[in-house]
Amino acid sequence: MEWLEIFDISLFRSLIRSATPIALIGFGAAMCSASGVLNIGLEGKMLNAAFVGIAASYYSGSALTGFIWGVSAGVLTAILFGVLSFNLGADEVLVGLAINIFSIAGTRYLLETLFKRRGFFSDPSIQGIDPINFEFLVDTRFEKILSGYTPSIYLVFFLAIVLYLVYYKTRLGTAIRATGENPEAAEDAGINTLRMKWLTVIFSGVLAGIGGTFLSLENMTLFTEGMSAGKGYIGLVASSFGNNTPIGTFGASLFFGLGDAIGIRLQGVYELDSRLILMVPYALTVVVLILIGIRQRIRVRPVPIPEQ
Amino acid sequence: MEKFSFKDVLILFAGTIITIGIAWVLLTVTGFVPREIGKLFFEGAVVGQRNILNTLNIATPYILTSIATVVSFRVGMFNIGINGSMYIGGLYAAWAGYKFTSLGHIPHVSLCIAIAVITGSLWMLLPALLKVYAGVSEIISTIILNFVAVLFVSYMANGPFRADPIAPATPRILETAELKQYFPNSQFNSGFFIAVIIAFLTYFILKKTTFGYELRSGGDGLVGFYPSRYSSYLGIPSDRSAITGMLISGGLGGLAGGIEILGNARYFYQELLFNQGFDGILIAIVGKLEPIGGLIASLFWSALRNGGLFVDYKTEVSREIVVILLSILIFFVSAQKLVSSLERFKFVRKLDAFFTRKIK
């Protein structure tokens, strides 16, 4: 049973690392969906943040500066999304798509213009964000499981709990959910639905920014073209799989992370074609979509069409 | 969608001016002379037989993908997966192109194209069924399938369909499967005519036939852009038209990929990059989701693209600048409130009324 050997601590660590960007996007997407915004543009926000983060780190030589600029890029893209779809009446999906296309081309353009590179950019002077090692865990059995991750990974666990509390236990959470479920009733109850939407979109921009810098400054210290590789969309699926709740989204992200991690490990064991391994997260997403479909089919009875 | 109005043209015009302004600034900041770049750009797009032919050749997949978008959006389905269909259709067109020997020219080309259309359309079956029968957003499922398609064709070109031991590519397609290239200095081929015919055919079917009406009515009850069950109330099965529309859309995407292979590349290789599926969505929106609008917008778009390639080739300016500028233009065009705010001006209202009367 050699395949059982892959279930060890390094698989767990790789699972957590793969799940982190998906969960970050997923939390943002869940909040947006809860307030009734379909935020397709998260992919572009993430990509922009990844690039701006690495560029800022390269020019300043400081990981923190890179992080701050990266997150700002995510937020700025979110503001662009908000202005176009809330203030100027553009369709959310179209704006999201246009932002994604804009971001792919924009980062590639800047890559060629600023760094004269095509494809990817990596440089020794880029400062990555270092992992955190907990002193008190050294030489305990928890060291390998809990210590030595980069900050965003701890943030994800923290967010899962905080968002759960906000979502269910505060007025704000109720207001956000009301905005998505029944905007008219929410308005009648004195909730400023537009403000709620703005709030969730900006929040998702922050998280997409953190997710982007996670890719380019924490997980690795390099930028490759289109390095978000659909994680923005997978995050959307994760939030949808998790019923747009924080804990559900987190669970779905771990599931995606597990699939990713197993795929990577199996490649080492069986020497599989790398393309098939790369396909695992997407194939898994399709499977999850089918599962969501079955679940909705069971739960929701179609509304009968009235006779003429 | 409503008809083209003067407002739309005005906003397109204003957006273009602003976009050109942004380009001017961008080029100046990066140390180029905008006037010279602009001249090169124009030359690359439409000056001389070779450049014009290349522009038309580049337009072929854009026409097809934008019409694929038109069809799917018109039935109320947001098909973002046209790029995936392109890859699948292209791969299997290449396969059919070298696999079937001893066929005549016309049967072989027809067979390849049919296979491209069928495979491309089957690729869209799952999202369509998921949407209609289980309410899973087709936006997300089609986007994810794009990623699956890219990796799948790359795997196939590397594994089962690989012929060349050095480069991961399929064998070259047979001469009988080639779409004819008419000029020695350009890859312009008969695929362009297929695309144009498809554009007019789609216009005719959508506007003049019962089938087209049924298709459209699935999406005409769109609230904003989202499908509603409006047509069900009229006794038209919107579910069926949604699935049909999605399959047609995928088939057109497959056709676009097939023509790229049969007319231009002549074999499928791993690094082959299709982006036209995504651009097709933006083009279709500029064309107001009309087949003929899509055709015109595609020609416009490919002229810009070709100009961009020419500039990229002649200077250090990155070709991506074109896509950046076009997506900025999309931001303007899609901003509905910006468009309707133009009604504040009296001359816009007057001209609007004038042109509407002309069309009627």
* Complex-level ipTM: 0.76
**CB atoms B151 and A282 under 8 Å:** yes
In this prediction, residues B282-309 reach a mean pLDDT of 85
Question: Do the chains contact at B327 and A230, CB–CB below 8 Å?
Answer: no
- Identify which of A97, A106, A285 has the shortest CB distance to residue B144: A285
- Nearest by CB to A282, which of B30, B148, B235? B148
Do A57 and A126 meet the contact criterion of CB atoms below 8 Å apart? yes
Any idea what the Cα angle at residue A262 is, between residues A260 and A265, rounded to 5°? 110
pLDDT of residue B228: 45
Backbone angles phi, psi at B181, to 5 degrees: -100, 130
- For range B95-108, the mean pLDDT: 82
Residue of B nearest to A112 (CA): B318
State residue A219's pLDDT score: 74
- Global pTM value: 0.82
pLDDT for position B337: 74
CB contact under 8 A, B334 and A233: no
Give the closest-approach CA distance of A283 to chain B in angstroms: 7
Q: Kindly report the nearest CA distance between residue A40 and chain B, in angstroms.
A: 8
Asked if B327 and A101 come within 8 Å (Cβ–Cβ), the reply is yes
Please provide the DSSP assignment of B221-290 as one string.
Answer: T-BTTB--SGGGGGT--HHHHHHHHHHHHHHHHHHHHHHIIIIIISS-BTT----HHHHHHHHHHHTTT-
B288: pLDDT strictly greater than 70: yes
What domains sit in chain A, N to C, each tagged with a CATH number? 8-122+130-295 (1.10.3470.10)
Q: Could A109 and B144 be called an inter-chain contact, meaning their C-beta atoms sit closer than 8 Å?
A: no
* Residue-wise pLDDT tens digits, A22-75: 888 889 888 888 888 888 888 889 999 888 888 888 888 787 888 888 889 889
What pLDDT does residue B211 have? Answer: 80
Average pLDDT across chain B, whole number: 80
What is the band of A267 on the pLDDT scale with cuts at 50, 70, 90?
confident
User: In this structure, are strands A223-224 and A120-121 parallel, antiparallel, or unpaired?
Assistant: antiparallel
**Non-local CB neighbours of B162 within 8 Å, separated by 6+ positions:** B168, B169, B170
